[in-house]
Amino acid sequence: MKNETLDKYNSFAHNLWIENCKERDSYNEPQLRKEEYIAANEKWILDEFWLDWGHNRKWIEGEYKHATS
């Protein structure tokens, strides 16, 4: 990813982690460190990031490509 895209991704992942912390707190579950959360959910976060930024990309055959369906 280019620097600008990486900055956007880091911000996006941070916001998802904050939401996860709030959700875990509401269920009285232990919160994950940000690094743990991202490592455990990296593929899903990347998929959501590309979809959120309008690129409509999915992990296909080892790289991010435009989803056809």
What are the extents of the domains in the chain? 3-66
Long-range contacts made by residues 28-33, C-beta under 8 angstroms, separation at least 24? none
**pLDDT tens digits, the chain, 69 residues: what are they?**
668 888 989 999 999 999 999 999 999 999 999 999 999 999 999 989 888 875 666 777 776 666 665
| Cβ-Cβ contacts under 8 Å for 38 (sequence gap 6 or more) | 13, 17, 45
- What predicted TM-score, i.e. pTM, was given to this entire model? 0.74
Please state, in angstroms and as integers, the Cα–Cα distance from residue 27 to each residue in 16, 21, 24, 32, 34, following that order.
Answer: 17, 10, 5, 13, 18
Q: How far apart are CA 57 and CA 5, in angstroms?
A: 14
What is the pLDDT at residue 55? Answer: 61
